[in-house]
Structure 1
Amino acid sequence: MAYPKPWCSSYSPLSRAQPQRTPSEMDQNGSFTQEAKSILKCKLSQKRKTLPQFSIGSHLSPWPMHIYGRTILPNRKPCSVDYQKLASAQKEEPLNMTKPRYLEQLENHLRKELLLLDLCSDSTQELRLQPYREIFEFFIEDFKTYKPLLSSIKNAYEVTLAYQRETIRALEPLRARLVTVKEDCNEKLLAMRAVERHEVSVLKNEKMHLLKLIDKKNEEKVSLQSEVAKLRKNLAEEYLHYLTERDARKILLADLNELRYQREDMSLAQSPGIWGEDPVKLTLALKMTRQDLTRTQMELNTMKANFGDVVPRRDFEMQEKTNKDLQEQLESLQADYDEVCKEHEILLQLHMSTLKERDQFHAELQDIQQTSTPRPDWTKCEGVVAGGTDRWKMLAAGKNSDQLVDVLLEEIGEGLLREKAYFPGLGYGEAIPAFLRFDGIVENKKPTKMEVVNLLQDVWKERLAEEQKEKFADFFFNFLERRFGPSEAMAWAYTIFENIKLFRSNEVMSQFYAVLMGKMKESVYIYQKETIAQLQREMASADSQNEGLLSMENFSSILRSTFPLKKEEQIQELMEAGGWNPNCSNADLFKYQALFKEDEEGQSEPFVQKVWEQYVDEKETYLQELKQELGPEILEVTPGRLREALGTIDPSLDAQTLSTYVSQAFQVPVTELPMEGDNENEQGLKTQLETVMSRLWVSDIRRAGPRTEPEPAI
């Protein structure tokens, strides 16, 4: 095949100067104007003249198509003679093939043009595209047959490029405006941060001022208390002084009256009129007096003879009253005796039934001892549990076998949980909690028990600090996203869920798991924390000296005022959990702040645990009374019947609290509860009794006042 002569001699791109693009030839986006395009077209035509002219039919090579015609064998059988001859002929034919000269010249031209453009550091993309345009123009001019098609392709690309340039030009103002808006937003953000810093500083100063004011008020309170004590002492001294003065005055008045009476007697004795009376008259008066004396003596003797054995009326009435009291006492004792006799008979019957049960249980015990396995030896766990004997004794202190099994399971589960590197995702089912909906595997972050407890306490702090608008599970997952980022939130959710599901003996984890899974409303946890906070405030206010000490008497009075509905036995249990000893005096002081401390794993002191246990027991008792009032034989209950039963067992409930309890039991808003007497709507809300009781159990329901006992029938 004939190739054209090298065109390097007549046309050399490296030999000519690169056409310089002046700013007048370019628009704002770096593209050519119409005038620049016409100039470039003229230059292109001149350059085209410098290239050698070729004939498509005689000079253009079909490279590399001629190689395929020589290498591909015809469709013949490999074992035939013709096939073998043709294959050997092709092997002998040399494959000395090179590129066409025209293609090499175009590639060299393109390479040199691009090299010149690379030397110019300020060349734009439009300039880099110009050599390719020139090469494409050469193709269009040489291939006359395909010139219309290639020209339409080139025009389509040029139109598209022009459209793109117009679009970029239209978006430039938006880009500038975006930069301006970003700067404005940054300025506003900085201004808001400056204002916040100023407000924080002002609030800190106000806090310090209020703290100083509180210290000053406390000092004034202490000084006033000392003055009150001093004034009380002075008042007692003055009171004793006035008592002494009063007694002395009474004695003086008595002496004065005695002296006055003596003086009157002396004045009567010295009266001259007595000695001047008639002797006959005096004799007659003496005779009459003696007769009166004799008559009086006789009457006295007669009275002694007649009424010597008669009791005085006063003594008789006194004895009669005493006899009546004794008779009433005898009747009451007789009634008590009859009751004791009845109780004795009942106790005898109970004793007989107890003996039968004892014999039956003894027989069952013997059967169980013969058939059952022996009790486990828990001391064997000392060498297995991490920490040895001391840690096992600490874990097993005060726990029964069932609780020890839970402790052992937690220890085993903790080891297995540490070995897991990933958790399998639970999927996106409706039964799966929202914060665990994930398909795949998630990483086990392997935090320590203390780190999980601290993280859960941070969740509660942030939850109690803001308004409770979203569900607790959604808030928990949003908290993890804020703390660890969206990419790590799911892994932490699975890790924390597996930990709180395992460590049920931990107080913080068990309560968080119950609230998270809907087994307990978060209002129950909030009420518990508010109760403990109220106790702390009451004890701190009773500690007037701010020494952290409190007497058992004050401790008892605070418990009775905070829990007015608790029985005396419950108050004593709380005092014993707080460290009270019946053998000690009530004036003994103790550190009340130690009652509210928590260890590193969030476990509270026995006093706080006893408050929680009594709350659970009281709720259970309250719901049992409600169930008995509703009637154990009924299966469904209406809002009106529940409202009536709650009002019966707890008359002190106000209307708002009562409506809240009914709303929680039937899972409807308070505003949608039917009115009293609306039987149609109440029948539509009829619910199973067990469902109502389970909903009330997870809610914060408690007694508002004592239950009034019915008056006995007369």
Structure 2
Amino acid sequence: MANPQTRYYSFSKSRTGTQSSGGTAEVKGVEKRKLSQKRRTLPFQLSMGGHLSPWPTYTSGQTILYQRKPCSEDCRNRTNSWQQHPLGTSKPRYLEQLENYLRKELLLLDLGTDSAQELRLQPYREIFEFFIEDFKTYKPLLSSIKNAYEVMLAHQREKIRALEPLKAKIITMNEDCSERILAMRAEERYEISLLKKEKMNLLKLIDKKNEEKISLQSEVSKLRKSLAEEYLRYLTERDARKILIGDLNELRYQREDMSLAQSPGVWGEDPVKLTLALKMTRQDLTRIQMELNTMKANFGDVVPRRDFEKQEKINLDLQEQLESLKADYEEVRKEHELLLQLHMTTLKERDQFYAELQEIQRTSTPRPDWTKCEGIIAGGSERWLMLAEGKNSDQLVDVLLEEIGSGLLREKDFFPGLGLEESVPAFLRFDGPVENKKPSKKEVVNILEDAWKERLAQEQKESFQDFFTNFLERRFGSNDAIAWAYTIFENIKLFRSIEVMNQFYAVLMGKRKETVYINQRETMSHLMKEMTNIDTQNEGLITMEQFSTILKTTFPLKKEEQIQELIEAAGWSPDINNVEMFNYRTLFTEDEEGQSEPFVQKLWEQYDSEKEAYLQELKEDLGQELTDEVSLSKMRVALMNIDPSLDKQTLCTYLSQAFQLPVAELPLEDEEKQEEIVVKLETALEQLRIADTKRVGLREPEPAS
């Protein structure tokens, strides 16, 4: 009878033979040849006479062998033989050789590449092949296990390759969604600011209505009280009139009775009856006398209704005259105070103008003849007239310096490097000569506008100077980035009259926060959106009345004179033309050199002047010199005094900017710590001047003395 183990081996071998056909057989043949070559380096030695060694189980007892399912008599015989001949605790030599081989193969692998995990599996495959080839009895089962794992690994590789394009698509979609989210956040921030402003206006309107309601309620209570008094007075007078009428009727009846008693027929009546009548008459007389005395006491001071109405009319006339005189007096008093203030202001202006006149007379020089510049400026007299239109002498000097500087800038081929010190801005740190790229003004403006677009599209995590450096490297490459940085810096430092260059230079050098530019751009977008919404025909035309309404709605804190200045800057004047419609789209255009229209320039001028007035008012409320130190508590109180409509978030932002502290570190609840945090007033005002500092609401008027 054949051994069961031998039959199982032959059956497994036949199954593996049928499965390995075609390309699989060739691959297995190659693998077998490789394994046979490697097996020569591994001397095969089985412990326990060709059977699997039970190491280290036999050292700790035979419980594991007893719990295994018996397969044949040979297994039980081998178990008894192990029990009869225990061995030492050392590993089998074949196991040690396999472990040494695996360790060497793993050391030879380069695990720093992307395919490290695939290469790491190869030594384990080879070890498994050694097991399959050396243990003939278990070769079919181990081969099927290996094939199953190989098929599954191949299937997983195909899945990974198929998912690679999907991964790239997901990354692209993630970037698009991030950009949309940033745009939506910016729009939401702007809408939130508008809603906050609308909320503040509605709260003010509610307060005003509440005050009117309280005043009306007080007037109603007064009228009710006067009505009750009048009603009581008229009721008393009515009762008095009824009593008088009753008394008169009683007296008339008594007189009739007395006339009847004195008639000739009375003497013939019964004396008893007459005595009784006399007695009753005397009683009635006594009662009437008492009532008459009571009436005299109660109504002795009562005047006739005719006299009362006459005096009341005279009193009303005098009251009206008094109210009119009071109103006239109050108006005259206010005019007198205004005239006094105007007089004091005029005196100060006169003294100031006189001092300026003395200084000008002392240091004045003859007014320059600007027509001499026509022959020097490129373009001749026509270009000079275009540049000098509407500019004063100071502005003409700036224009002349820009023209001279642009010529000198174009003559330079290289700029000297500023070095690598910490005091040098990060984007200008270079040692050695730097090439001058010599771009035109239009090219520089286009680069700056592209930089602003990219800055607004991404999250502002890095500083503006680092962003500018990275932007130039992405656009021009790392080799030309420093050359373009020096070229652009020299251009924006020179052409300060161009608004785009001036703003970019101020933000780049830290003289102004970039939020100032961003908020101004959002304001321009909001104005354009409001005008577009009114323009239902999409013709680009609106009326001046609509334009004025939009300005007053968007800038509720601007005075009427400022609104009129913006309307005139838009190109409309009632003295020049009576055109009702105008093209609003031209207000937001820029020329080739990036110069804005007068309307946008006037908005920037008003923004700067309003900020300076706000900071001057803050300084006056503090009542300190610029060199004095101001505490956090005093600054907070002063801000709330000059701008009571400040919300908590904006107040914390202003304090954080003035004292250069994070908002989370401001001790708003601890008065003692607020007194300990101090800074020079000049430094605090300068920090607020850099940031987007502006008034939130109107200041409450001071009570009249």
TM superposition score normalised by structure 2: 0.55
Identify unmatched segments of 5+ residues in structure 1: 1-27, 29-165, 204-310
Give the 5 Å matches for 1:208-607: 321=316, 324-330=319-325, 332-333=327-328, 372-582=364-574, 588-607=580-599
Alpha-carbon deviation of 1:178?
Answer: 8.1
Alpha-carbon deviation of 1:461?
Answer: 0.3
User: Aligned match of 2:618 in 607, 611, 626?
Assistant: 626
Q: Which amino acid aligns with 1:329?
A: S
Alpha-carbon deviation of 1:414?
Answer: 0.5
Tell whether 2:665 aligns with 1:672: yes
Match of 1:214 in 2: none
- Taking a change above 3 Å as real, the CA distance of residues 365 and 674 of structure 1, as seen in their structure-2 partners, is closer
Give the 5 Å matches for 1:30-41: none
Alpha-carbon deviation of 1:362?
Answer: 6.7
Instruction: Please state whether the residue corresponding to 2:669 is helix, strand or coil.
Output: coil
CA–CA separation in structure 1 for the residues paired with 2:632 and 2:380: 57
Spell out, residue by residue over 1:615-638, the C-alpha distance to the aligned partner (whole angstroms, 9 max, x if none): 111111111111111112471112
CA–CA separation in structure 2 for the residues paired with 1:176 and 1:570: 67
Alpha-carbon deviation of 1:683?
Answer: 4.8
Alpha-carbon deviation of 1:442?
Answer: 1.1
Instruction: Please state whether the residue corresponding to 1:489 is helix, strand or coil.
Output: helix
Count of residue correspondences: 441
CA–CA separation in structure 2 for the residues paired with 1:684 and 1:345: 43
- Taking a change above 3 Å as real, the CA distance of residues 466 and 344 of structure 1, as seen in their structure-2 partners, is closer
- Taking a change above 3 Å as real, the CA distance of residues 316 and 425 of structure 1, as seen in their structure-2 partners, is same
Match of 1:658 in 2: 651
- Taking a change above 3 Å as real, the CA distance of residues 374 and 462 of structure 1, as seen in their structure-2 partners, is same
User: Aligned match of 2:682 in 683, 690, 697?
Assistant: 690
CA–CA separation in structure 2 for the residues paired with 1:174 and 1:337: 93
Match of 2:692 in 1: 700
CA–CA separation in structure 1 for the residues paired with 2:538 and 2:525: 17
Instruction: Please state whether the residue corresponding to 1:581 is helix, strand or coil.
Output: coil
Aligned residues of 1:553 and 1:586 also touching (Cα < 8 A)? no
Instruction: Please state whether the residue corresponding to 2:522 is helix, strand or coil.
Output: helix
CA–CA separation in structure 1 for the residues paired with 2:466 and 2:175: 30
Give the 5 Å matches for 1:150-189: 170=108, 177=115
CA–CA separation in structure 1 for the residues paired with 2:517 and 2:329: 54
Report the more deviating stretch, 330-339 or 638-647. 330-339
Alpha-carbon deviation of 1:712?
Answer: 3.1
Q: Which amino acid aligns with 1:409?
A: L
Q: Which amino acid aligns with 2:602?
A: K
Match of 2:632 in 1: 639
- Structure number with bigger Rg: 1
Instruction: Please state whether the residue corresponding to 2:512 is helix, strand or coil.
Output: coil
Alpha-carbon deviation of 1:650?
Answer: 0.9
Aligned residues of 1:410 and 1:502 also touching (Cα < 8 A)? yes
CA–CA separation in structure 2 for the residues paired with 1:564 and 1:349: 30
Spell out, residue by residue over 1:249-294, the C-alpha distance to the aligned partner (whole angstroms, 9 max, x if none): xxxxxxxxxxxxxxxxxxxxxxxxxxxxxxxxxxxxxxxxxxxxxx
Instruction: Please state whether the residue corresponding to 1:485 is helix, strand or coil.
Output: helix
User: Aligned match of 1:617 in 609, 612, 618?
Assistant: 609
Aligned residues of 1:551 and 1:586 also touching (Cα < 8 A)? no
Alpha-carbon deviation of 1:410?
Answer: 0.6
Aligned residues of 2:622 and 2:635 also touching (Cα < 8 A)? yes
The percent of aligned pairs where both chains have the same amino acid is: 54
Instruction: Please state whether the residue corresponding to 1:423 is helix, strand or coil.
Output: strand
Aligned residues of 2:633 and 2:675 also touching (Cα < 8 A)? no
Alpha-carbon deviation of 1:696?
Answer: 0.5
Alpha-carbon deviation of 1:396?
Answer: 0.7
Identify unmatched segments of 5+ residues in structure 2: 1-33, 35-103, 120-157, 179-305
CA–CA separation in structure 2 for the residues paired with 1:670 and 1:177: 49
CA–CA separation in structure 2 for the residues paired with 1:348 and 1:381: 44
Aligned residues of 1:640 and 1:676 also touching (Cα < 8 A)? no
Aligned residues of 1:623 and 1:693 also touching (Cα < 8 A)? yes
Alignment RMSD (CA, Å): 4.2
Give the 5 Å matches for 1:136-155: none
Alpha-carbon deviation of 1:331?
Answer: 5.0
CA–CA separation in structure 2 for the residues paired with 1:445 and 1:175: 42
Spell out, residue by residue over 1:62-105, the C-alpha distance to the aligned partner (whole angstroms, 9 max, x if none): xxxxxxxxxxxxxxxxxxxxxxxxxxxxxxxxxxxxxxxxxxxx
Alpha-carbon deviation of 1:643?
Answer: 1.2
Spell out, residue by residue over 1:415-473, the C-alpha distance to the aligned partner (whole angstroms, 9 max, x if none): 11111111111111121111111111111111111100000000000000111100011
Q: Which amino acid aligns with 1:458?
A: D
Aligned residues of 1:552 and 1:586 also touching (Cα < 8 A)? no
CA–CA separation in structure 2 for the residues paired with 1:407 and 1:585: 31
Alpha-carbon deviation of 1:516?
Answer: 0.3
Q: Which amino acid aligns with 2:398?
A: D
Q: Which amino acid aligns with 2:523?
A: T
Instruction: Please state whether the residue corresponding to 1:520 is helix, strand or coil.
Output: coil
CA–CA separation in structure 2 for the residues paired with 1:620 and 1:358: 22
Q: Which amino acid aligns with 2:442?
A: M
Aligned residues of 1:574 and 1:610 also touching (Cα < 8 A)? yes
Instruction: Please state whether the residue corresponding to 2:415 is helix, strand or coil.
Output: strand
